[in-house]
Structure 1
């Protein structure tokens, strides 16, 4: 049996896979402004083919929203889809932030002003190569937490979060004169669980707080959520040869369901230490054209990727030797680059949209100017010891614990009301007698190094250590007596994805869980420094007087300080190259640009012009391993 797919040009038919049959019984009917019948969307009674692109407001400086959205519209898109990162908006329970680049209402107003529609994707889980898939790390303070489930404490947290979020955006729904025409329930849930009762819970909470528009789910491949009686199913893919089969599964569920690719992947993401995962524009364009030929609706993921600023990059393959930490750039190979430039892929997609639809795109806005500001040498440095001493002056959350705890179990009373650390580094410090071997019994995530009396040991332990967390320090030739031991563990990103049946997301606590042994003897009473590099700390660091001239430079880890002087009234976008340096993080005017790492593939950090100013710009570099001669600001990215 065959079913036709609506197309503006032709009607195509595909064979239904033998394992599919027409499902009987109730299927979803949209109660919102966007409805569907016989494979066709109708908005306010008029046929609509959704041509959408993913643009994440939280990955873009607020000043650049307008430019990116106008370029999306000029490509022929009529819709923007965006995720919502719970972890940025609620950094601790009940503490909400919706200002600056997280002002979701302002973003929606800009979209609406441009005459574009919105597919709103609030999660609460979003994947998106984002730290913990958008979930807040503080959920894991509960040792029994089961995320993405109907575990009651998780439900309560989701209910509270949607109770803060949805009232802010409900008046932006199409039924109230706004741009939101559809809302997604969770994300790729079929790849994670068969507990569709959890999807029903998410749906009910969304509607409880005011969502009235059409609901949809988004899955890829055979692992589709069996939720088609509660929301419209859509699919995710890059290769149309695979996507045809996904389409047939949806057709088998209802004669009315329109076909939509919720995520047509325009490129791919990168992990540190791997090759750059580029995709040929010709391959992407040929598959995009196949989708357009069928008359299906489509959203390009990503249309503009943006940047994982700060510590917000996620990870994959957790609890595995194949763990992969995502890089700071989320360029993704998208039609609009990380720095906002239209690419050959952009212009190819624009041409295809013009060919297969009635859209007549307007002129494309010009790309923003870029600048090469040249090389900058460091002015001075701050030692590891002094850096931690400065930390004591800005927080009361440095505490002593009998046993080492992971970030999430810390009791950060002053700044986090009893909740633990979300991001950054955690430092376990103790005064110890001479020893020759250190061992962690238990779990360690993600990357551990030790510093003895300010001197870093060359051995680094990480996910490739095969769970053997042992360091021989006999080469340090320690004298008899007491020594200061610092164990530094970095959270390189909580997993943003897990396959069905995996419980890894419930165990993504970062730091050390277990015992620390010195010469085979357990050692207790560790002073723990939650090294988050928050704004207060960075401000104090830059203005502190504990810097020394480079002539007395010690080995890393340490901090460096310098200035970039920009002549002229208007700064331009630029790219920071850390050639010759090892691994660390960079702040420009207290904006956290993200991580750099000599293992690549990413070799530059995007520095948006709104982060800069005419005159002197403060720069702080925290370097863990190797000190370079200078840093360079160039006018193009190096992503591979």
Structure 2
């Protein structure tokens, strides 16, 4: 069944109708004038039918409704009505009473060095965007309950102020769950200290934690709402919840808490209209997609709910993300541009996800397919194939999108009542004028740098003892979230990094974990590493044959079991509860030659800044000529000549797997299995003169590290 075009049912305002009738009674046209008028009308109609951009830029297309996929339609009077500055009527947004078509791009402040916010936002505006959207990572802002951090690259107020100063609107997406290929979807790992935790639900302890978090966050940003003169025009409730649960009561709870702490602007959801109709009276539904043909079905779900709901693509995916050990997931530029053009032609508003991806610095990359041999840990780069690259460069995709935005939004619109305004739907969007594009930042190739010396695994753990008192003995091995870290975490456990289970043992030939192990385990026996590593691909048979070590009877050995958290899952399908079980480390028993072993000393190896500082300045380093087997630490310096450092890319060719710190900044993971081959080193992390470099290598030692002037992501 076909429905008529939306612009046909967008009748003139009632107050204009009598004015038009009166005008028709008094105007007298002579034959010559009539002929000219007819010619003009025919010419205008031809242009319209040819889909010329000036007329088509805000026409909303109609599609066949797939009857098997549409939810029950709610009553029109029950559909959500925005109470904020941004309102909508008959498929059109209005901001402060003026028509607005939202052209947005996702820019995550927490993935970008603070010094680069200005450059990225200016490039977004130069592309013709009038809005940016950002998530908020709860786990970075509240690393343990009640301990909040809003400084440096997490200074959300400064970021919003910059957007406002540049004349950009903001769609604020506080979650608390954000997905985004981010560790645990932005949720803090300490939630899993509670063995009964049920995230993204009405489980009371989860609700209490969310309420406390929003009580800290929302008061900081509420004065940045449009109603108070700021840039925030809309706020998202949760994220893609329709793909996860039918517990609408939880969405109602999130909405209530947002408004409790001061949110007044329009609310929206982002789950392709796949919520039951009950929540359509609480927030505006929007859709996420990459292929416009698939997106049309999602549009119909929303249009079936209300004749007033405008069409909004909250996430038009400009590329895709990568997992370690897989091929690079690129998308053809012409495919992205053609689908973007279809969105612009359809008249929908859109936010490009990502417009600039940035970097998953530190241990903050997420994962997919938890509790499965298909588990995939995300790489450190979040380049995403976005219009602006990880290092801030405009790409051919950027310029292609900029050209399309110019093409479809370049018309100057006349007020109602003029002849040119005869097709109202063609003229109801704000004019966007892309400006000059800021130049890309310079990059530098600083060349090869050899390592100066190394620190053994045993010495590294000895140094750790001088930094923290959170090394404790537990009867049974515990996952990192269950640790009791009184000194640094007020009794809460470990969030990220590696967890080390240490014990003095005598000769054994087989080690077995009965229970779960997440995500990657290797063992070290008195300083020598076993050549076998167990991970999620082992189909949960966590057994190691260590007979090759030739251990002898009657001798005490130090056994270290190292387990790495490669990233908690950031996404789970509807009905799945795997994210509630994303505890990292060992849960269960450790058996040596089939006998359970108890009383393990546990080292929470988080590589926090205090530890890295102590490690770099320590004197327990030795010449490379006496190198022991990995895992171990390496130290060197990069000397930069000249007053101003430049962005660069660190290549770890010849190395195996590990993490890197430059001037105590954690760049992220490297891994020889790829696809990512370089780590982005922003210039603000560097300085003129000597720059400290620390490498923690787990498997294989290279000859040197290299600094390139270009990335290698495939």
- TM over 0.5, yes or no? yes
Q: In the aligned structure 2, how far is the partner of 1:559 from the partner of 1:7?
A: 61
Distance change (3 Å), C-alpha of 1:292 and 1:515 = same
Give a deviation string over 1:533-553, Cα, whole Å, max 9, x none.
Answer: 000000000000000001111
Shift of 1:498: 0.1
Distance change (3 Å), C-alpha of 1:2 and 1:150 = farther
| Alignment map for 1:188-587 (pairs within 5 Å) | 188-220=240-272, 222=274, 227-356=279-408, 359-481=432-554, 482-587=556-661
User: Higher mean Cα deviation, 457-466 or 537-546?
Assistant: 457-466
Q: In the aligned structure 1, how far is the partner of 2:59 from the partner of 2:462?
A: 70
Q: In the aligned structure 1, how far is the partner of 2:150 from the partner of 2:563?
A: 31
Q: In the aligned structure 1, how far is the partner of 2:276 from the partner of 2:468?
A: 47
Shift of 1:220: 3.4
Distance change (3 Å), C-alpha of 1:225 and 1:303 = farther
* Partner of residue 59, structure 1: 111
Distance change (3 Å), C-alpha of 1:3 and 1:188 = farther
Give a deviation string over 1:308-342, Cα, whole Å, max 9, x none.
Answer: 00000000000000000000000000000000000
Q: Conserved in 2, the CA contact under 8 Å of 1:6 and 1:294?
A: no
Give a deviation string over 1:272-328, Cα, whole Å, max 9, x none.
Answer: 000000001100000000000011000000000000000000000000000000000
Q: Conserved in 2, the CA contact under 8 Å of 1:3 and 1:13?
A: no
Shift of 1:4: 17
Shift of 1:206: 0.1
Structure showing greater radius of gyration is 2
Give a deviation string over 1:569-601, Cα, whole Å, max 9, x none.
Answer: 000000000000000000000000000000000
Q: Conserved in 1, the CA contact under 8 Å of 2:272 and 2:285?
A: no
User: Higher mean Cα deviation, 19-28 or 626-635?
Assistant: 19-28
> 1:226 is paired with a residue of what secondary structure?
helix
Shift of 1:39: 0.1
Q: Conserved in 2, the CA contact under 8 Å of 1:2 and 1:14?
A: no
Q: In the aligned structure 1, how far is the partner of 2:519 from the partner of 2:272?
A: 29
Q: Conserved in 2, the CA contact under 8 Å of 1:5 and 1:295?
A: no
Shift of 1:10: 3.7
> 2:68 is paired with a residue of what secondary structure?
coil
Shift of 1:227: 1.6
> 1:14 is paired with a residue of what secondary structure?
coil
- RMSD over aligned CA atoms reads 2.1
Q: In the aligned structure 1, how far is the partner of 2:75 from the partner of 2:116?
A: 46
Q: Conserved in 2, the CA contact under 8 Å of 1:588 and 1:612?
A: yes
Q: In the aligned structure 2, how far is the partner of 1:443 from the partner of 1:227?
A: 38
Q: Conserved in 1, the CA contact under 8 Å of 2:193 and 2:492?
A: yes
Q: In the aligned structure 2, how far is the partner of 1:440 from the partner of 1:511?
A: 11
Q: Conserved in 1, the CA contact under 8 Å of 2:74 and 2:277?
A: no
> 1:393 is paired with a residue of what secondary structure?
helix
Q: In the aligned structure 2, how far is the partner of 1:364 from the partner of 1:117?
A: 19
Q: In the aligned structure 2, how far is the partner of 1:225 from the partner of 1:488?
A: 49
Which of 660, 666, 671 is the aligned partner of 1:597? 671
Q: In the aligned structure 1, how far is the partner of 2:296 from the partner of 2:403?
A: 23
Q: In the aligned structure 2, how far is the partner of 1:516 from the partner of 1:408?
A: 18
Shift of 1:17: 1.6
Q: Conserved in 2, the CA contact under 8 Å of 1:182 and 1:215?
A: yes
Q: Conserved in 1, the CA contact under 8 Å of 2:273 and 2:301?
A: no
Distance change (3 Å), C-alpha of 1:225 and 1:541 = farther
Q: In the aligned structure 2, how far is the partner of 1:72 from the partner of 1:480?
A: 67
Shift of 1:24: 5.2
Which of 81, 96, 104 is the aligned partner of 1:29? 81
Q: Which has the higher helix share?
A: 2
Distance change (3 Å), C-alpha of 1:236 and 1:600 = same
Q: Conserved in 2, the CA contact under 8 Å of 1:87 and 1:136?
A: yes
> 1:618 is paired with a residue of what secondary structure?
strand
Q: Conserved in 2, the CA contact under 8 Å of 1:5 and 1:12?
A: no
Q: Which has the higher strand share?
A: 1
Q: In the aligned structure 1, how far is the partner of 2:111 from the partner of 2:303?
A: 35
Distance change (3 Å), C-alpha of 1:4 and 1:195 = farther
Shift of 1:6: 11
Q: Conserved in 2, the CA contact under 8 Å of 1:377 and 1:630?
A: yes
Q: In the aligned structure 2, how far is the partner of 1:502 from the partner of 1:534?
A: 33
Q: In the aligned structure 2, how far is the partner of 1:601 from the partner of 1:46?
A: 47
Q: Conserved in 2, the CA contact under 8 Å of 1:236 and 1:264?
A: yes
Q: Conserved in 1, the CA contact under 8 Å of 2:53 and 2:407?
A: no
Shift of 1:13: 1.9
Shift of 1:153: 0.1
Distance change (3 Å), C-alpha of 1:2 and 1:189 = farther
> 2:299 is paired with a residue of what secondary structure?
helix
Q: Conserved in 1, the CA contact under 8 Å of 2:315 and 2:353?
A: yes
Q: Conserved in 1, the CA contact under 8 Å of 2:362 and 2:669?
A: yes
Distance change (3 Å), C-alpha of 1:479 and 1:539 = same
* Partner of residue 19, structure 1: 68
Shift of 1:360: 1.8
Q: In the aligned structure 1, how far is the partner of 2:690 from the partner of 2:276?
A: 53
**TM-score, reference length from structure 1:** 0.98
Q: In the aligned structure 1, how far is the partner of 2:660 from the partner of 2:700?
A: 14
Shift of 1:226: 5.0
Q: In the aligned structure 2, how far is the partner of 1:310 from the partner of 1:7?
A: 46
**TM-score, reference length from structure 2:** 0.88
Shift of 1:222: 4.7
Does residue 637 of structure 1 match 2:711? yes
Shift of 1:400: 0.2
Give a deviation string over 1:207-227, Cα, whole Å, max 9, x none.
Answer: 000000000000137567852
Distance change (3 Å), C-alpha of 1:4 and 1:539 = closer
Distance change (3 Å), C-alpha of 1:250 and 1:419 = same
Distance change (3 Å), C-alpha of 1:564 and 1:225 = farther
Give a deviation string over 1:556-581, Cα, whole Å, max 9, x none.
Answer: 00000000000000000000000000
Give a deviation string over 1:69-114, Cα, whole Å, max 9, x none.
Answer: 0000000000010000000000000000000000000000000000
Q: Which runs of 5+ in 2 are unaligned?
A: 1-49, 409-431
Distance change (3 Å), C-alpha of 1:128 and 1:3 = farther
